[in-house]
Amino acid sequence: MNSDSDLQIAGDILEVQHLLRPAREHPSTVAEFAGLARSLAADRARWAPLVQYDSASRWYHRLRKGPGYEVWLLSWVPGQGSGRHDHGPSSGVLTVLEGQLTEHTHRGTRSLRAGTERVLAPGQVHEVVNDSLEPAVSLHIYFPGLTDMPMHAARCAPAAVDVVPA
């Protein structure tokens, strides 16, 4: 007769920690960087007191630096944007901590709400804008650390067509 009570685990399950790999002090894979972003996002007490808002330009603060990577905290007041750019040879993880941002890429436009995480490949061109009426805060991890941020010409919007009633 099989039942849930027939299943037993030999020994204390909490004693298997010695079999698990220890957590790395510094991430080295995209998945580990995404995990670091989620961990830092959840630690509001660490980043929230640092946030400032600047109506003249985007505010940024390096939150952490490790071997081969950097973590930046950015704030965006309504209307602020990054301009079209890429991150040179760096990969990135962008996480929205508060508010809402809009990302424009060659594939289209995407709304990024608090909790949204985006992984960016080296050379990927995008533009991030705060199109909302409320400030926003985002966390950016670059690996290797950001050394280049080439700007790209703005995309030409389709020409407006005046419709004249017949």
Q: Which of 71, 85, 90 is nearest to 125 (CA)?
A: 85
pLDDT score for 24: 73
> Is 26 known to sit in a ligand binding site?
no
Weakly modelled stretches of the chain, pLDDT under 70: 1-23, 155-166
Mean pLDDT for the chain overall: 86
Residue reference for tokens 């990054």: 82
Instruction: Please check whether residue 135 is in contact with residue 79, taking contact to mean a CB–CB distance below 8 angstroms.
Output: no
pLDDT score for 156: 45
Q: Which of 48, 71, 70, 51 is nearest to 59 (CA)?
A: 51
> Is 85 known to sit in a ligand binding site?
yes
Q: Which CATH number fits domain 24-143: 2.60.40.1730, 3.20.190.10, 2.60.120.10, 3.40.50.300?
A: 2.60.120.10
Contacts (Cβ under 8 Å, ≥6 apart) of 158: none
pLDDT score for 166: 39
pLDDT score for 59: 97
What does the longest C-alpha to C-alpha distance in the chain come to? 85
Both structure tokens of 86: 């890429």
DSSP state of 155: P
Triad 135, 137, 143: Cα angle to 5°: 150
Both structure tokens of 18: 């010695």
* Secondary structure (3-state) at 108: strand
pLDDT score for 142: 97
pLDDT score for 49: 98
pLDDT score for 154: 78
> Is 87 known to sit in a ligand binding site?
yes
